Amino acid sequence: MSAKVGLLMGSNSDLPKIQSCIDTLKNLGIECEVRVMSAHRTPDLVAEYAANAASRGIKVLISAAGGAAHLAGAVAARTLLPVIGIPVEGGALNGLDALLATVQMPGGIPVATVGIGSGGATNAGLLAAQIIATSDTDVLTKLQADREKRRQKVLAADAELQGK
């Protein structure tokens, strides 16, 4: 099975912060290749990776970066694949700078942006799965089951609270 999602992070130190994205994709049975690339320190590698991703079977690209967070934009500029940006928390502004840099793309180069933190990373995985599910009924079925599982968890929590 070949990877359908390419997940790039600007630094290896971002891995714990985006692990929930990787776990979400894995739980949905979606193969993901994870790479460390920097928009500033390895721009040629980023450009080559993004430009060739579709020909290798990648359907969605996810880019996680903190600080100036130019990685998602650098990727989006080199591909027509959907790109999802994860602003990584940390630094002096605790991820707000990354959020603003990721969400403020110029017209014509879209990047879907999720929230800061593990919830955002989880949502990046779910959004990638939803994009893939538009043409993959197996992934759609797994997403439906995941959504129902989340619903049941809330109902169980409410029932427990009402029982106290």
**For residue 91, what pLDDT is reported?**
84
In the predicted structure, residue 1 carries a pLDDT above the cut 70: no
CB 132 within 8 A of CB 123: no
In the predicted structure, residue 18 carries a pLDDT above the cut 70: yes
Quote the pTM value: 0.95
- Phi, psi dihedrals of residue 27, rounded to the nearest 5°: -65, -25
**Does 160 fall in a domain?**
no
**Does 149 fall in a domain?**
no
**Domain boundaries, position 71:** 5-136
Q: What is the number of domains present in the chain? A: 1
